[in-house]
Structure 1
Amino acid sequence: MSGKYYAPTGGHPPQTQLLTDRAVFTDAYAVIPKGTMRDITTSFLPSWKDTRLWVIARPMTGFAETFSQYIMEVAPGGGSDTPETDLNAEAVLFVVDGEATLHVSGATHQLTAGGYAYLPPGAKWTLHNNAQEALRFHWIRKAYQAVEGIDPPEVIVTSDQEVAPTVMPDTDGKWATTRFVDLTDLRHDMHVTIVTFEPGAVIPFLETHVMEHGLYVLEGKAVYRLNNDWVEVEAGDYMWLRAFCPQACYAGGPGKFRYLLYKDVNRHMPLGRV
């Protein structure tokens, strides 16, 4: 971990370590603990120099179907001039460690820890690490669902530090959501937010809804209810929830519990394949 947000660094456990861990994969949810993000679970991408990644979510029939999520690690001097190969893919980038130089729509942006960028489908962008330390960021990708008469969104570049969290009703400020996109903007078919709980705060009911979720714990710890199970999670862990998986949590303290949250929104449900 480096700085405010947890970021994996790889490595390899010793032969003396116990095999017991908190990794879980069920037909309703998955938990990928931070201890599974080792050197041997990384991959590489074409057109990316001095870069490796952990794939922590991918479309799978009968499970999460709408998105993929990577944790990218870019060495100093690394990056890509052609990062995206799918013209229909939209993306959110969220930096957890280091500094990214993002060039998009004729402008250059320096994204440090907490930096957020929304990149619409077809956007021409490049990303490089021109700093002296490794860069680590989340890259969430989704096939954009176009709607006749609605233009795709524009590029958004901001940060966790620049957006004031929205406090949930009747929580005395103990539960808040940092929203980088206007909820009423129907151009967007996904939201990536940061959810924050003060120590001891809860989701006071079992959320059960159609949206798929990816939840990466940025800081803190909690006990999460997933379907019929209570699961302990901490900074660096990832949860992957299929549609309608019941969910709730208790934030454990002593500090804040925060996670990066993906969900699909604002579109009709597909009724079959043509």
Structure 2
Amino acid sequence: MSPTYYAPRGGLPAQDQLLTDRAIFTDAYAVLPKGTMRDITTSFLPGWTDTRLWVIARPMSGFAETFSQYIMEVQPGGGSDTPETDPQAQGVLFITEGEASLTANGAEHHMTAGGYAYLPPSAKWSLHNKGSAPLRFHWIRKAYQPAPGLSEPDVLVLNEQDITPTPMPDTNGAWATTRFVDPADLRHDMHVTIVTFEPGGVIPFLETHVMEHGLYVLEGKAAYRLNNDWVEVEAGDFMWLRAFCPQACYAGGPGRFRYLLYKDVNRHMPLRPFG
């Protein structure tokens, strides 16, 4: 089955539409439904031309503290020669729509829907839309945490359609993860993966763990347990989970349920503020 990737379009609801929606922000989690990603909630970045973005996660004291996540929309001819201004920032790009021309450390890459790029802090990169249609992609950023004896990771440019998902044990393939990075590669301090549930697939226990999460629903719908609540989510929704927030999932169908997942991994817990 060919994958699909939901991307927002913006716009505004009609004046006669009901105000009620599923948006919620608690001290343990947040849900940003796709309906919140409107024209008036976009931002712009210096150094980017013909580009707007939705900021769907940012470090916040007492909540999710390790990462930011943007949904970028680049018009034909737009892009940036200086996309990243933080010398400590690593990034992951995931293309949901359109075509991207990525240059990283002098190597040129043509990326299409399903494309993934990992960019370490030292990478010199630029990105442009040389196509005829808008380019939409996720940009996940995290300050890299060096570890003794480990070098910085290499640039990676891949596509999920070339990767075989790894089924979770004892699930008969109902729950699987597409991994772009080897979990045993401790150079990486964050993972961005795609999680897929076939209709009827479940997370059959309340996961409670130290990793923070960002979950953007690429396809389908499901009921998700977040802390004490069951919430319904669908393609285009974003969930933001604080460390240790209990979580589970039931994907009732009719189609499969897939999301782009961020988590921080492979490092000691800091015992004092960074810096």
Provide, for residues 73-124 of structure 1, a one-character-per-residue CA deviation record: whole Å limited to 9, x for no partner: 0000000000000011000000000000000122111110000000001210
Can you give the 5+ residue segments of structure 2 that lack an aligned partner in the other structure? none
1:142, distance to aligned residue in structure 2 (A):
0.1
* TM superposition shift of 1:147: 1.2
1:254 aligned residue: 254
Secondary structure of the residue that 1:206 maps to in structure 2?
strand
In the TM superposition, residue 9 of structure 1 has moved relative to its aligned partner by 0.6
Letter in 1 for 2:269: M
Aligned to 1:263: 263
Residue 220 of structure 1 is matched in structure 2 by 220
Give the counterpart letter for 1:17 in structure 2. Q
User: Any idea what the Cα deviations from partners look like across 1:190-227, whole Å, max 9, x if unmatched?
Assistant: 00000000001100000000000000000000000000
Equivalent in the alignment of 2:211 = 211
Structure 2 residue 43 is the aligned partner of structure 1 residue 43: yes
In the aligned structure 1, how far is the partner of 2:58 from the partner of 2:252?
29
Following superposition, the deviation at residue 145 of structure 1 comes to 0.1
Looking at structure 1, the residues matched to 96 and 63 of structure 2 have their Cα atoms a distance apart, in angstroms, of: 27
Q: Distance in 2 between matches of 1:149 and 1:170?
A: 36
Mapped partners of 2:60, 2:6: distance in 1 = 26
Give unpaired runs (5+ residues) of structure 1. Answer: none
- Residues 96-175 of structure 1 mapped to structure 2, 5 A cutoff: 96-175=96-175
1:131 & 1:96 partners in 2: Cα distance? 14
Q: Aligned-pair distance for 1:148?
A: 2.2
**Aligned-partner SS, 2:161:** helix
Q: Distance in 1 between matches of 2:96 and 2:61?
A: 30
Kindly provide the CA deviation profile for residues 203-262 of structure 1, in whole angstroms up to 9, marking residues without a partner as x.
000000000000000000000000000000000000000000000010021111000000
What is the distance in 2 between the residues matched to 1:97 and 1:251? 25
3-state DSSP of counterpart to 1:203: strand
Cα distance in 2 for partners of 1:239, 1:133 equals: 28
Aligned equivalents of 2:170 and 2:132: distance in 1?
A: 45
Q: Which amino acid aligns with 1:126?
A: S
Aligned residues: 272
**2:102 is paired with a residue of what secondary structure?**
strand
Partner of 1:201: 201
Provide the secondary structure at the position in 2 that maps to 1:35.
helix
Question: 2:191 is matched with which residue?
Answer: 191
| Greater shift in the superposed pair: 129-138 or 147-156 | 147-156
Separation of aligned partners in 2, 1:120 and 1:254: 39
**TM-score where L is the length of structure 2:** 0.98
Structure-1 separation of matches of 2:237 and 2:160: 20
SS of structure 2 residue aligned to 1:161? helix
For residues 221 and 252 of structure 2, the distance between their equivalents in structure 1, rounded to whole angstroms, comes to 6
Give distance in 2, aligned partners of 1:208 and 1:182. 23
User: Matches of 1:253 and 1:99 in 2, distance apart?
Assistant: 30
Residues 48-75 of structure 1, C-alpha deviations (whole Å, 9 max, x = no match):
0000000000000000000000000000
| 2:82 is the counterpart of 1:95 | no
Letter in 2 for 1:251: A
Other-structure match for 2:60: 60
